[in-house]
Amino acid sequence: MESELEISSEIAADFKLQYEMALDEIYELQTEIDVLKNEIKKLKLDTDKIKTVEAEKRKTVKNLTYCKRQNNELKQNDSEQKQLISKLQKEVSERNRNIASLTEQVTILLDDQISINTFSDGKYLPAVRQVVQDLHSFGVGVKHIGQTINSVLKHLLGVDEWKLPSESSNRRMILESNLLAKMQIGEVLLHSQNSNTLHFDGTSDAQRHFLGFQITTNHENLSLSLNENVRGDTQTQVKTIKDNFLEIANLVSHSNEHINENYAKLMLSIKNMMSDQHIVSKNFYDEFVKMRTDLLQKFESNWDTMSDNEQEKAAEIHQWFCHLHLLANMGDSVNKALKEYEKIITDGTGKLGRSQLPTFSSWSDKDSAAVRCIRTVCSALVSGGNASSGCPEDFKTYLFSKGKTCRLKRFEHTRFNIIFENAGAVVYHRNDIIDFLSKSSSSSLNMLLKSVLSDLQDQTIFQEILSVATIGKIITTPFLRLIDSKTVATHILDLNQHFLQLQINLKQWSKDPSDLISGETVLFPEVPPCKDDIFDAVFSNHMLPDTDVLSESASLMSTHLYLTVSRLLQNQLPEGCHGTDNETIREESLTVPKHNRTSEKNFADFKQICHFKPNASIEHIEATLMWVNNKSVEWLDLMDPEIKNAKITLAMKRAPEFISKWHERKIQLKQKHLEKLKEKETEKARRDDQS
């Protein structure tokens, strides 16, 4: 037993020893592990530092590469900048030398007061001739052209005492500008497409008859001619247009052999015609088509191979009419309708307003009472009206005291919508006018002002004027804006749908005008009525207790307007020759405007020139109109100087020939005037014998 205990003690001692040794080894291993962990931690820190350093290194290398590239670019730019600076320095140096040279030359010129060369080989140079022609087109009178040139040179350049054209030379040079303007027209027409539009119109002044022609191409409008004639019949118009085109062909032809050919080209360049609807205009159209057809047969190489339909299409000219004249005819129709209505409601007497007063029994009343009232109001209260009996300034002052301005306009023949516009203004100012005139004693009012007051106080006349103003606001003013618009209905055929709508509405209003007089209708959506203070004044009165006159007169006027529109617009209404939107006609009529305002403007300018220069010859006036309207100054300035001088020289050389023709034309004109006078004397003697 003891032996077993001894063995167990030994085993326990041995186990304890081994346990203690194991603990020592574990401690040593733990110590080594801690050391290794510290080393690993250090290695991780070193690795992170290395990564950071490498990243910084890569960034530094990248920045270094970028800096090197930037440095290279800067070096290159620096080199280019140095080259540019060097170049600019050379240019500045060169310009400084030029400035110094020019300054020296100018100084020499001013010091020496040398003469400018204006005259050579017995004639003025082309530059001088153009200056004279330009100044005349700018409105400088013939007598003052030389003084103007001299003043400019003297005060701006210090140049004085040089040879200037005399007054007679200036007149001759202006006649040369007539030829230059016709050369311009010839060149434009010969190089244009054969779809141009010919405008024509006539006017009379102091027993003298004048005929004007204009041309519209794809790009511009040109004044073609202005001629004085004894008569305005078809034969005169035909001869005049032939003579004008022959003159132009003569000027643009290099030889006599080419005159007829160029004349044909000029005539054949016309594919459309624009005029009013006078019977003479229609007859002229027929004769022009015949002339053009004859020229096609002679000068169109393919004429014989064309079919009958092709020949008919080639010879056809599209006839168009000025739509502004419709407004003038509308005014006449309204006046006629009101005159009829006034006779109906007065049992045939037609007396309303002033016509009922004995003091006005000797005054003629060719217009309706409403139109008469509108006219007399404007005559009395508008500047430029009746100078002896009117009081426009007093009325303006009265309106100013009430914070208003005068909306009335002066009657002029070129204002197509004037009767309707002034009707609205009369409605707007009615109470003001009555109040203004009533404040004066009856004895202080002259007959014109008494006429205005008595007409405006008549309720029937007022409702008639209100009806006219309604038509103006709903129909005629939007119609005028439609015709003048450059964005709505840009092609003349685009108006067809609007004309049809106008016809339909007028027919409806002739039966029931309630929509018209209420102001709720918008006839042309693209150009709605302008809702201003006059609009408010007009349509605030349609709710009056008694509006029978307003409704009845509007109905009757709509009937008359329906007939007028159906007659004057028949070509562009369904079943008319231009009633359908034919693609061929649309293409051939691209140059056709919606109105003949160009002819109206030409004659307005003509009358203004005659007013300020009553002794100017028709050729001088024609030259001025063409030179200004055709912008001949710009046409010449765009040319090469040599070509321009050649044309001015050619006009100078051809002038004597044309001046001689114009002189012969004046003699023939006087002879025809004499023949016409003898015809009148013969007719008078015949009537005296019969009596």
SS (H, E, C) 229-252: ECCCCHHHHHHHHHHHHHHHHHHH
Please check whether residues 347 and 494 belong to one and the same domain: yes
Above 80 in pLDDT, residue 5? Answer: no
How open is the CA angle 338-550-455, to the nearest 5 degrees? 60
Query: Which has more confidence, 552 or 71?
Result: 552
pLDDT value, residue 252: 92
- Show the domain range for 134: 119-173
Report the Cα–Cα distance between both ends of the chain, in Å, rounded: 199
Question: Do residues 306 and 439 share a domain?
Answer: no
Whether the predicted pLDDT of 542 surpasses 70: no
85 inside domain = yes
Q: For residue 156, is pLDDT > 60?
A: yes
Position 98 scores a pLDDT of: 76
Helix, strand counts (H, E) of the chain: 24, 7
**Could you tell me if 439 and 555 lie in one domain?**
yes
**Whether residue 92 is found in the same domain as residue 131:** no
In a domain, 476, yes or no: yes
Residues 433, 545 within the same domain: yes
Last-in-domain residue among 129, 148, 173: 173
Helix (H), strand (E) at residue 456: helix 447-456
- What tens digit of pLDDT does each residue of 223-280 get? 999 999 888 788 989 999 999 999 999 999 988 888 999 999 999 999 999 988 877 7
User: Do residues 115 and 161 lie in contact, with contact meaning Cβ atoms separated by under 8 Å?
Assistant: yes
Beta strands in 172-207 (DSSP E): 196-205
**pTM of this prediction?**
0.78
**pLDDT recorded at residue 248:** 94
**pLDDT tens, position by position, 185-212:** 999 999 988 899 999 988 888 778 899 9
pLDDT at 101 over 80: no
Judge whether residue 115 has pLDDT over 60. no
Poorest-pLDDT segment among 120-129, 584-593, 632-641:
120-129
Q: What SS3 class is residue 555?
A: helix
Tell which of 100, 131, 154 closes a domain.
100
Q: Which residues contact 295 (CB under 8 A, 6 or more apart)?
A: 264, 267, 268
- Considering its fold, how many domains does the chain have in total? 4
Which of 139-143, 178-182, 672-676: highest mean pLDDT?
178-182
The backbone torsions φ and ψ at residue 364, rounded to the nearest 5 degrees and listed phi first, read: -80, 145
**Predicted local distance difference test score (pLDDT) of residue 51:** 80
Q: Report the relative pairing of strands 196-205 and 270-275 from DSSP bridges.
A: parallel
Decide which of 588, 610, 643 is a domain's last residue: 588
Quick check: is 298 in a domain?
yes
Give the mean model confidence (pLDDT) for residues 425-433: 95
Q: What is the pLDDT of residue 624?
A: 92
> 86 with 132, same domain?
no
The DSSP code for 643 is: H
Same domain? For 381 and 419 the reply is yes
Give the residue-averaged pLDDT of 147-154.
84
**Per-residue pLDDT band at 378 (split at 50, 70, 90):** very high
Interatomic CA distance for residues 179 and 177, integer angstroms: 5
404: left (phi over 0), alpha (psi -120 to 50) or beta: beta
Position of tokens 């002896």? 388
Same domain, 584 and 607: no
CA neighbor of 625 nearest in space, from 655, 602, 598? 602
CA-nearest of 445, 277, 461, 242 to 359 is 445
In this predicted structure, what is the pLDDT of residue 34?
79
Same domain, 349 and 488: yes
Of 101-105, 469-473, 529-533, 572-576, least confident by mean pLDDT is 101-105
- If you search the block for the tokens 């003509």, which residue do you land on? 606
Inside any domain, residue 107: no
Check residue 411 and give its pLDDT: 82
Q: Which two tokens stand for residue 118?
A: 């204006």
Helix or strand holding residue 119 (H, E): strand 119-120
Pair (570, 632) in one structural domain: no
Cβ distance 177 to 136 under 8 Å?
Answer: yes
Within-domain flag for 319: no
Element (DSSP H or E) covering residue 328: helix 324-345
Res 256: pLDDT: 83
Q: What's the rounded Cα separation, in Å, for the pair 114 and 101? A: 18
Task: Say if residue 558 is in the same domain as residue 608.
Answer: no
Mean predicted confidence (pLDDT) in 71-81: 74
